[in-house]
Structure 1
Amino acid sequence: MAAYTPSNDIPSYADHRASGSFDPNVPPKPPPKPRSEDVSRQSTPVLSQFPHQPSPLGAKPSPPTPERPLYAEQVGPQGASQAIPDPGPNWLPKILEDKSIQDLEEILRKPELLSATCHSRDAAHPSTSASDESLQAALRENIALASHLNDVEARLSHLQASTQAQLLSAHALERQWRQKQSDMDRALSPFSPSSLYQRLGAGAQDQEMVCQALEESFLEGDGAVATEREITEWVRRYRDARRLYYSRRERKERWDEGRVGGNPTKPYRLKTTVVSGDATKNNLYVQSYHTGAGLNDVALVSEGGSAAFLNGTYQQFDLSGSTFPSGLKLAYNQYYTRWLDTQINAGYGDEGFSFNGSGLISSNPQFQGWLVCDWYHGVPQLFWQYYYADIELPSSCAKVELHRANLA
């Protein structure tokens, strides 16, 4: 349908009013027929972008900006762009080309009818169809992502439930282990170093009293002269009692001096002596740092310290609250390092420890000495140096010796 173009010889209403023949009592001439720029001739895709906000009658649509044209390129789900030609301001759906202005205004007042007209398969512009296809592809992709998220959520819920069950099982096993450890401590308490030392001391005293009782019984007698056989039997019994007494006393004395395995009555502490490095690491005492059930790292403190004793070649500690000793262990828990952790764990620990002029040493062929460094527990920690004897130490470290010191 051809657009109407008004004749230039028809004066406008403003010119008519400005003329001297303007009469306010005479109605003006009717306005010209609507042009293609008017609302009834606007491009349907532009109006369909805002179906719930119809433009007022007589308002001209704003021209498309250069940055974002009304009909921009539609990008498909695979990223391929398709250029859609601009239909121009004179485009109307074919179904609306023969409608009157009143019908068009009626359609504009009903957003549902306007949207249905613009998106109809027969009446929609190709740009609208392309836009719908891109939107449908995006919706399908969102649905697929939502489905995937639902699957991931189900798997995550299953993993959370499984992890929770394993955590509860681990807590139950930990409680069982503590109960077993308590039962083990009670069962082994008669054989702990302190109990063995008490039994040895009590045995020596009892045997000494047995010897005294034999002496008194021989000296007092009943007034009768003992036969040679009775004297020989008494001497034999007395020698056996005294031999057992001297044996127990000697064992106790060696134990007191730390020359045999066992927990001495005067246990010692291990004290640092700085050889090189940070001087603040001097005169520190070895102290266990609890890290788990029966597990401890070796820390150093300025006061206190754990009671230690040498059980054969095992350097062991009598930790507070434990009836079973713990042993010093040279840990191998890292690789490609120049020093490693030391631990005090339940049990005997590593063998091969002894004392010489340099203090406590180990017969481990890789052992090169002791190091004290500020580390992740927030207190100085004890390490053992291996392979490399001469290295450059960090400023917070010192090479030390461990010597015996009396308990506080």
Structure 2
Amino acid sequence: MPVRTTKTRRTAVLADSDTRWKWGALTARRIAPEDADLRLDGYLLRGRATPTARQLQETGAPADSLREVTAAEFLRAMEREPYDVLVLALVGGGVQAMLHGLRAVWKDRPGRPVVVTGHVGVVYEKLADGLLLRHGADLVLANSRQDAERFRAVYEGVGADASAVTEVALPFLGGAPHTGEHEPYTVVFAAQPSVPGDRRDRAYLLDRLVRHARAHPEREVLLKLRSRPGEHTTHLEELPYQRLARGRDLPPNLRLVYGHMGEVLDRTDLLVTVSSTAALEALHRRVPTAVLTDLGVRESLGNHHFVGSGCLASWDQLDAGHRPEPDEEWLARQGVAADGTYATAFDHARDRVARLLDRPGGLPPLAPWYTPQTAPGYLPGVLARHHLGPDGLPLPGAPAAGTAPGPVRRIVRRAARGAYRHGVQRVAPVIRRMGEL
């Protein structure tokens, strides 16, 4: 009887925050062949939102290896490492810089990895800007049917190749479906770092949560927080709810909690948010979900994305016992896959990766739509922010590969991050308030 051999698929993920690491690592696992052993190497791009060990553990997305790198260090590693697939889980400018950098370092290489990128969650702002900065990857993943249609329209509208757009779903959906109320009935408010950003609005939401807990002492009310004080995630958090809650007389049935969102949803009976991607996780599991209208339905809040969902509601309605009922057609277009189709959501992407890896003669050079000819006043700045020149190669003075920071550099870096956090969370809000006087 022949012995079956299992091929090892080597995949790298480059991420610049905890949420993007979660998306990238889980995406890498979703698109890997089911009959292959996956070797997953993680690279964390050094910057203001580089995740802590606690944040990485909370994502529930482990790796076989993980290290922090600069852009130059990463490109040096990609020049010599024989990966099959590379997932770029970065902000748009970071993706574009890496695409140009990789094109340069792979110039004389006979074969290269399949490059995959996409958006971490709901795309409610900077649609064209974010998409064009991601153009040039072999696969640009769209988390829903609606996103796939919008992505193709943007690329075709500027004359760019739209064939890379590939419909999938959010990679972190899952968990047991909600089948009935828990004891006690649990309401979870999923906080967001930057939405809303105004102190008055955030204080209002905290006050309404407190009032809901007092009005329903038989319920457990949880304020689900994304990061601890001093940590950063994908978006800046100038006014953490922990600080707003400090010194307040909170009702005994209201608690501030951290942890993996999936574990919190295991005991949730009503998920409340302004526009968090947690709403899609909850809807996938059939957890009753409310997207707040108290502060208006506005593009700046991101809750306009949920128009037509059936989930829009106010705290007054929720206090009175309202439970939103989601629109099934809307759910289907958003890739929530509450109808049980999630198991096959990544099949097409997995097949495309396999075909690209088996392409005779290997893959052609990466070809971003932004070039020195199409965007001469924009692209050089995008590259320079990552210490890359117009040719995509590291600029003189960029950190060399394999140079670990010494003790002085580590101390300076920690101090700089601390000063940055202090400026964002303490100084900037005071200056804004003074300006409003």
**Bin for the TM-score computed over the shorter chain:** under 0.3
RCO comparison, higher one (Cα < 8 Å, 6+):
2
Q: TM-score, normalised by structure 2?
A: 0.17
* TM-score, scaled to structure 1: 0.18
Instruction: Compare CA radii of gyration and give the structure with the larger one.
Output: 1
**Higher strand proportion:** 1
